[in-house]
Amino acid sequence: MPDQASPIRPKLVTACVVLIGDEVLSGRTRDANLGYISKHLNQIGVQVREARVIPDIEEVIVATINEVRATYDYVFTTGGIGPTHDDITADAMAKAFGVAIGHHPEAIAILEAHYKETGGEFTDARKRMARIPDTASLIANPLSKAPGFQIGNVFVMAGVPMVMQVMLDSLTGRLEGGATMQSRTVSAQIGEGTIAEQLGALQLRYPDIGIGSYPYYRGKVFGTSLVLRGVDEGMLDKATAEALVLLKGFGVEPIAGEAV
């Protein structure tokens, strides 16, 4: 029989986001994808545990993908699936999974219809966007039509934020979520160095709750906001209650939420 005293731990589903592109690393393009992906996934119970920014170098992409897909339940990539010579993500994915790559009939049909409707020429360069690794399934792109794809537990999406967002929305039904990460914030006019020792002890008592300490300055007023995060709401509430008691023990009056 199972141990009746053992609590049922919430199911955790984890993910890694890989941002692919020299333009992000150079600072030419400011990333707008990571925050959107993380927030979207958390709402369906998928926790982003790691993010990486890597260059448009095939061997780096292959090594990174093979590492993270073995570590996390899901991997989401952005960038490198356009029509130009430096869009090498699809080829790198095929190499990472050890499969061939070629023009996907459905992707060709989607793009052919799109350019016929818009009056654009369906050039060989544009046909590059229909090159999909064998065994992969398409991710719909209602906005600009060029699809992303899923291969194994890796979801390959565009780097353009608006396009990435509609791709992510279209594949949500494929994802199996788990527990949703929740957070609580308490703030008080006290320096984080003053409470550091007791805060460390609180963290030890609640190892499954992430506790972050963030100093703030509002004019001549300074203080500390404590952000507690976890998937077990009951445990999160208990840890938050203890954090409030901890702060009151130093003679300050904490408030729920960020300091105004």
Domains detected in the chain? 14-174 (3.40.980.10), 182-256 (3.30.70.600)
pLDDT tens-digit map of 225-239: 999 998 888 999 999
pLDDT at 7 > cutoff 60: no
pLDDT at 9 > cutoff 80: no
pLDDT tens-digit map of 88-141: 999 999 999 999 999 999 999 999 999 999 999 999 999 999 999 999 999 999
Element (H, E) at 193: helix 192-205
pLDDT at 8: 60
Q: How far apart are CA 148 and CA 167, in angstroms?
A: 7
Q: Rounded mean pLDDT of 24-37?
A: 93
Q: How far apart are CA 256 and CA 207, in angstroms?
A: 22
User: Quick check: pTM over 0.85?
Assistant: no
Q: Which of 157, 184, 195 is nearest to 81 (CA)?
A: 157
Q: How far apart are CA 144 and CA 171, in angstroms?
A: 16
Cα end-to-end distance, the chain, whole Å = 52
Kindly give the pairing relationship between strand 131-133 and strand 101-103: antiparallel
Kindly give the pairing relationship between strand 148-151 and strand 14-20: unpaired
Q: How far apart are CA 111 and CA 216, in angstroms?
A: 51
Q: Are 259 and 227 in contact (CB under 8 A)?
A: no
Kindly give the pairing relationship between strand 154-157 and strand 74-78: parallel
Mean pLDDT for all residues in the chain: 92
pLDDT at 1: 41
Question: Half-sphere exposure of residue 155, counting CA atoms within 13 Å on the CB side?
Answer: 24
